[in-house]
Amino acid sequence: MLLVTAVGIVAFGWPLLAAPTSPIAHASDAPLLFALLLPLLLAVVLAELADGGMDAKTVAMLGVLSAVGAALRPLGTGVAGLEPVFFLLILAGRAYGPAFGFVLGSTTLFASALVTAGVGPWLPFQMLGAGWVGAGAGLLPPARGRSELAILAIYSAVAGLFYGLALNLSFWPFTLGGETAISFIAGDPVADNLRRFLTFSALTSLGFDIPRAILTATLVVITGTPILRALRRAGRRAAFDAPVTFAGSAAADPVATTDADVLGVDLPRGR
């Protein structure tokens, strides 16, 4: 998880540290990032399987929820930032943990891009942003009941804004020329570029980010309790390794303490 996050931070933020003479274009580095992201996602899943964080049942749930999320995303069509898929990522990440949430966010955005023909240089950045949204839900402090819903609702609003900022940063340095007050200027101090970036985001995308945050928080409040209950019930593992004990003792009931009586089968005499 830390390795994937480090790669993502570099992918989003490297233009802020680029020299003025360096060629800057995500169109050329996005395929490389995508090629690096897929095996890292697989590594996260394999690490969770090896460590016991996931089992076959959880991996099956990952596939089901990815398909559901891919079907949900086109419903909002991105109009005014209304994207209903994020509430599912947050609830699943909360129920199954940060690694599951990260992989689910990434696979959901990947699957929905294939469904809607939305594959492009922006896709790996969308996958990383959605993965961070799902992972963050799994890192929230423990709580139950109304307290949990309140924490998730607040997080959903913050995550909706964060996702918009992250996606803005992925294309802002390459969108505007250096003539405006909100343009990226290669080689300038990071603080100055970040100030211009925040101004750019407030002027161009805040009208999309706020509706996304409100919709996600509202859906979490409305559906959080039943969906979390269903996800947690579905995620319970079978106790194959639980110790087996039998009621009674040989001294208390000598008639019913043979292997045949305990197991309920007919065994040959003398066994």
Structure tokens at 246: 């039998």
Judge whether 95 lies within some domain.
yes
Instruction: Average the pLDDT over 183-206 and give the result.
Output: 85
Residue 129 belongs to what domain range? 33-235
202 has a pLDDT exceeding 50: yes
Judge whether 265 lies within some domain.
no
Of 208, 214, 198, 26, the residue nearest 128 (C-alpha): 26
pLDDT above 90 covers what percent of the chain? 19
Judge whether 260 lies within some domain.
no
Judge whether 145 lies within some domain.
yes
Judge whether 106 lies within some domain.
yes
pLDDT for 246: 65
Q: Are 271 and 259 in contact (CB under 8 A)?
A: yes
Give per-residue pLDDT as tens, 60-80: 888 889 888 888 877 765 565
The CATH number covering residue 73 comes to 1.10.1760.20
Total domains present in the chain? 1
Residues whose CB falls within 8 Å of the CB of residue 124, separated by 6 or more in sequence, listed in order: 11, 30, 33, 34, 37
pLDDT tier for residue 91 given thresholds of 50, 70 and 90: very high
pTM: 0.76
Judge whether 187 lies within some domain.
yes
Average pLDDT, whole number, for the chain?
Answer: 79
The region of weakest confidence among 23-27, 47-51, 57-61, 207-211 is: 23-27
What is the rounded distance in angstroms from the CA atom of residue 5 to the CA atom of residue 131?
A: 9
Crossing angle for the helix pair 98-116 and 26-51, to the nearest 10 degrees: 140
